[in-house]
Structure 1
Amino acid sequence: MKISGNTFIVTGGASGLGESTIRKIVGQGANAVVIDLNEEGAKKLSEEFGEDRVLATGSVNVTDEAQVEKALALAVEHFGTIAGAIICHGVAGAVPSIPGFGPNNALTSFQQMKFVSDINYLAVFCVAQKVVEIIMKQEPLNEEGERGIIVMVSSVAGLDGSTSAYGPSKAAVAGLVLPLAREWAPFGIRVAGIAPGYFVTPMTTNLPEEYQSMLIPNVFPKRLGLPAEFANTVSYVLENVMVNGSILRLDAGVRLTY
């Protein structure tokens, strides 16, 4: 798929990996639609690049089907054809007001699991399914019959069985990739997953300093990933039609054991 001239939905696009992805693909000639709770951050991007290149859709709760549909309707009205979605939104853990049930709130409660899963898993499917509803009715983008692509962001925490409730929610995202690639194949739609290790994002930089040191890989390079490195990977996945139904680890060889 060509990136230039096409329009992509980016959830979580107002900051972190999503923002870096927008900067990358817009720099390659694409248009982007920001879907994020962070309305201010989305507006700043739109003002920086111009609304003809980056559309801010207001504050959107991706767990709310109606809000997602409204944002996508704005995207279609503004840009017309949608080529795909890069689904980057997520939360690391439960909000402080939802305690665990064990000593010092250390164990995961049902309420915590539901909060994280609603955002990290069900909302990923919600956005993907709503975008595909649009793409499947469009004309193919090239002679091979490709209509679009969905890129889902999992995590090594999901692949390595780590960090409840975050890890299980990301494992569920990884579990969506191949089934949906098969389901949507008749419409010329690809589905791919990227499973990052620890990257420099608001999610990691807001952690206590002593915990941040635990995130550094013990192989090479011994540092956190940079958002631009994630964005470069997204660009590769968008352009390479053979990337379909698979999950790419982007982790500097780290394997989580806790």
Structure 2
Amino acid sequence: MDLKDKVVVITGGGRGLGRAMALELANKGARLALVDLNQDDLDETLNQVKAAGSDGRTYVCNVSKEAEVEALFESIVADMGGLNGLVNNAGITRDGLFIKVKDGEIVSKMSMDQWNLVMDVNLTGTFLCAREAAAQMIKNKQEGCIINISSISRSGNMGQTNYTATKAGVEAMAVTWAKELARYGIRAASIAPGYIGTEMVMAMKEEAREKIAAGIPAKRLGKPEEIAHTVSFILENDYVSGRCFEVDGGLRI
């Protein structure tokens, strides 16, 4: 796919990885539909997209709400004249041990709120956005690509039962969609980042960041731009589909 003037939706596009993706794609001439819950964050990303010489629109949407997502993709197509790509980047964490035990006694369990919130955003939100994106592409006879952002944690990570379940799920869904949607010229893939130097990670104490980096074969955190570059590679290579790209500096959990 030549990204010049193509319409690409990025959920969680207000900051972090989403902002890095937006700038990467803007530099290649794509037009961005940026989706998030915080309008101020969206406005800042859009300003940077425009400074890079491209354009786009912003949309406030809770991706876990079916009616909002349906309206979102109708609006994007009406506003921007079509839809060629989707990056399912929106996600949250609510970490905690499955069962916490102290002195032989159970002191806490992962709550249903912790479970449901992560499921709603990471798994249901990804499902809803991809469903509506694919429906619009098929309806308008436009080929396209859907990318799910998974995680190295999809293989299982302590304190993240809820998160790992969703990140394994979004990878598996991308494989399923690659098989189901190929007949319509729609590809699907996923990316599993390792430890990336987003604002949240860089806000950690330096000692903590150094400890994390020491356990990575590459001996450093990944850069948001490196995940963004992987997004553009998948979008641009029309023979890539159904695969998960691990971008983790050689780390395996």
TM-score of the alignment, normalized to the shorter chain, above 0.5: yes
Does residue 255 of structure 1 match 2:239? no
Q: Would the aligned equivalents of 1:62 and 1:119 in 2 still touch at CA under 8 Å?
A: yes
Instruction: Give 1:1-258 correspondences, 5 Å limit.
Output: 1-50=1-50, 53-57=55-59, 59-93=60-94, 102=100, 107-140=109-142, 147-160=143-156, 162=158, 163-207=160-204, 211-216=208-213, 218-256=215-253
Letter in structure 2 aligned against 1:238: L
Mark the CA change 1:154 to 1:49 in structure 2 (over 3 Å): closer, same or farther: closer
Q: Would the aligned equivalents of 2:22 and 2:49 in 1 still touch at CA under 8 Å?
A: no
Mark the CA change 1:48 to 1:251 in structure 2 (over 3 Å): closer, same or farther: closer
Q: Which ranges of structure 2 fall in alignment gaps of 5 or more residues?
A: none
Cα distance in 2, alignment partners of residues 200 and 247 from structure 1 = 21
Cα distance in 2, alignment partners of residues 41 and 221 from structure 1 = 31
TM-score (norm. length: structure 1) = 0.86
Superimposed CA distance per residue, residues 78-119 of structure 1 (whole angstroms, 9 cap, x where no aligned partner): 21110010111111225x9xx987458764223211111111
Aligned to 1:92, the other structure's residue is in SS state coil
Q: Which runs of 4+ in 1 moved over 6 A?
A: none
Q: Which ranges of structure 1 fall in alignment gaps of 5 or more residues?
A: 141-146
Mark the CA change 1:89 to 1:181 in structure 2 (over 3 Å): closer, same or farther: same
Cα distance in 2, alignment partners of residues 208 and 117 from structure 1 = 29
Letter in structure 2 aligned against 1:153: I
Q: Would the aligned equivalents of 1:154 and 1:195 in 2 still touch at CA under 8 Å?
A: yes
TM-superposed CA distance for 1:26, in Å, is: 0.8
Letter in structure 2 aligned against 1:75: I
| 1:143 paired residue number | none
Cα distance in 2, alignment partners of residues 107 and 209 from structure 1 = 31
User: What is the Cα-based RMSD across aligned positions, in Å?
Assistant: 2.4
Superimposed CA distance per residue, residues 140-164 of structure 1 (whole angstroms, 9 cap, x where no aligned partner): 4xxxxxx000000000100345532
Mark the CA change 1:109 to 1:211 in structure 2 (over 3 Å): closer, same or farther: farther
Q: Would the aligned equivalents of 2:87 and 2:147 in 1 still touch at CA under 8 Å?
A: yes
Q: Would the aligned equivalents of 2:63 and 2:125 in 1 still touch at CA under 8 Å?
A: yes
Q: Would the aligned equivalents of 1:11 and 1:36 in 2 still touch at CA under 8 Å?
A: yes
TM-superposed CA distance for 1:202, in Å, is: 3.3
Fraction of identical pairs, as percent: 29
Letter in structure 2 aligned against 1:25: L
TM-score (norm. length: structure 2) = 0.88
